[in-house]
Amino acid sequence: QSLQSSGSAVPWEQVLDQFPAMRPAVKRACLDAVLRQPTTTRLLLDALEAKDISANEIDSIRMNRMLKHNDKTIASRATAVQGSLVNADRQAVLVKYRAALALEAFPKRGEIVFRKNCATCHKIGEIGMQVAPDISDSRTRKPIQILTDILQPNRAIDNNYMHYSIILNDGRVLDGILTTETSSSVTLRQPEGKQEVVSRLEIDEIISRGVSLMPEGLEKNITLQQMADLVSFVKNWRYLDGRIPLEKPLPTESVE
Element holding 186 (H helix, E strand): strand 185-190
Report yes or no on 176 lying in a domain: yes
Q: Tell me the CATH number at 163.
A: 2.30.30.100
Q: How confident is the model at residue 156 (pLDDT cuts 50, 70, 90)?
A: confident
pLDDT tops 50 at residue 22: yes
User: Do 192 and 117 sit in the same domain of this protein?
Assistant: no
Confidence category of residue 251, pLDDT binned at 50, 70, 90: very low
Residue type at position 188: L
**Distances, alpha carbon 58 to alpha carbons 89, 130, 185, in Å:** 21, 23, 26
Percent of the chain with pLDDT over 90: 60
Q: Is residue 92 part of a domain?
A: yes
CB 252 within 8 A of CB 143: no
Task: Please indicate, yes or no, whether residues 17 and 55 belong to a single structural domain of this protein.
Answer: yes
Whether 233 and 195 share a structural domain: no
Domain range enclosing 92: 88-153+216-239
Residue 250 lies in a domain: no
Is 244's pLDDT higher than 60?
Answer: no
Q: How confident is the model at residue 256 (pLDDT cuts 50, 70, 90)?
A: low
Q: Do both 204 and 163 map to the same domain?
A: yes
Domain boundary among 174, 195, 212: 212
Same domain, 57 and 7: yes
My answer on whether 28 and 101 are in the same domain is no
At 166-210, the pLDDT tens digits run 999 999 999 999 998 888 999 999 988 899 999 999 999 988 887
The number of domains in the chain is: 3
Name the packing angle between helices 224-236 and 143-151 (round to 10°): 120
Residue 131 has pLDDT above 60, yes or no: yes
Q: Are 237 and 125 in contact (CB under 8 A)?
A: yes
pLDDT per position as a tens digit, 65-92? 999 999 999 999 999 998 887 778 889 9
- Same-domain pairing of 224 and 145: yes
190 within domain boundaries: yes
- Report the predicted TM-score, pTM, of the whole model to 2 decimal places: 0.74
Last residue of a domain, one of 83, 104, 123: 83
Co-location of 7 and 101 in the same domain: no
Taking residue 208's Cβ as centre, other Cβ atoms within 10 Å add up to 21
The torsion defined by the Cα of 201, 205, 167 and 214, in degrees rounded to 10, comes to: 130
| Claim to verify: residue 220 and residue 207 sit in the same structural domain | no
Question: Are 118 and 17 contained in the same domain?
Answer: no
What's the confidence (pLDDT) of residue 137? 82
Distances in Å between the alpha carbon of 44 and those of 27, 143, 230?
12, 33, 38
Look at residue 139 and tell me if it is in a domain.
yes
Chosen domain end from 83, 110, 129: 83
Same domain membership, residue 177 and residue 134: no
Query: Is residue 180 in a domain?
Result: yes
Does 33 fall in a domain? yes
Residue 255 domain flag:
no
* Claim to verify: residue 75 and residue 7 sit in the same structural domain: yes
